[in-house]
Amino acid sequence: MATLFRPVVTEQYPREKAPVEPRFHGRHQLNRHPDGLEKCIGCELCAWACPADAIYVEGASNSPEAQYSPGERYGRVYQINYLRCIFCGLCIEACPTRALTMTNEFELADRSRADLIFTKEDLLAPLREGMLAAPHPMVEGTTDGDYYRGEVTRPTPEQVEWVRRHRPDDPTLDSAAAAAERGSVRAGAAQGGEQ
């Protein structure tokens, strides 16, 4: 009887979007390291963990001329079929590098089935200010373990110079060069710049 006298609440969606909880399982995102290299190493563990068989990953080897992620491999092809995905989050738990996370975006409706198969370009996180677009070499003197421990905090002048030689028209060069001039790229470095 108490609910009989409560006012009616009408949601004004889609004009007013209701906030979702911080841990809401929405669209996936492939993340990057602070210098712009991709976190995905093409291990395919997310695809193996997916109970709906919604993820397809094809790994490839990095080379000095095309270094997309730290270490030996990167995800050359990455697809998530949102017609099959059940948003369970098992792929997130399986990822050893925290490359795959889930955002709060939940509006995934589209007009064709093909548009609901998201490719790597759709899933890859946008480059933030100061990041350098891949491919480019790893920070000199580091290993992939240094990247995964969070010790690399920005691109180096050497990385910026490498991209300037190979892709002089890259739009991320200016902001990456400014970030590289701020000081040390190692989080635990004793001198120079922000931590």
pLDDT tens across 60-91, in order?
999 988 999 998 999 999 999 999 999 999 99
Cα distances (angstroms) measured from residue 72 to each of 33, 41, 69, 75, 183: 16, 8, 8, 11, 27
Total domain count for the chain? 1
Residue 143 and residue 138: Cα distance in Å, rounded? 8
Q: Which of 171, 163, 186 is nearest to 34 (CA)?
A: 186
Tell me the pLDDT tens digit for each residue of 106-146.
999 999 999 999 999 999 999 999 999 999 999 999 999 99
132 located within any domain: yes
The answer to whether residue 120 sits within a structural domain is yes
Question: What confidence score (pLDDT) does residue 19 get?
Answer: 87
Residue 14: pLDDT band (50, 70, 90) is confident
Per-residue confidence band for 192, with pLDDT thresholds at 50, 70 and 90 = very low
CATH, residue 162: 3.30.70.3270
Range(s) of the domain holding residue 162: 24-180
Whether 187 maps to a domain, the answer reads no
Place of tokens 């889609």: 14
Which pTM does this prediction carry? Answer: 0.84
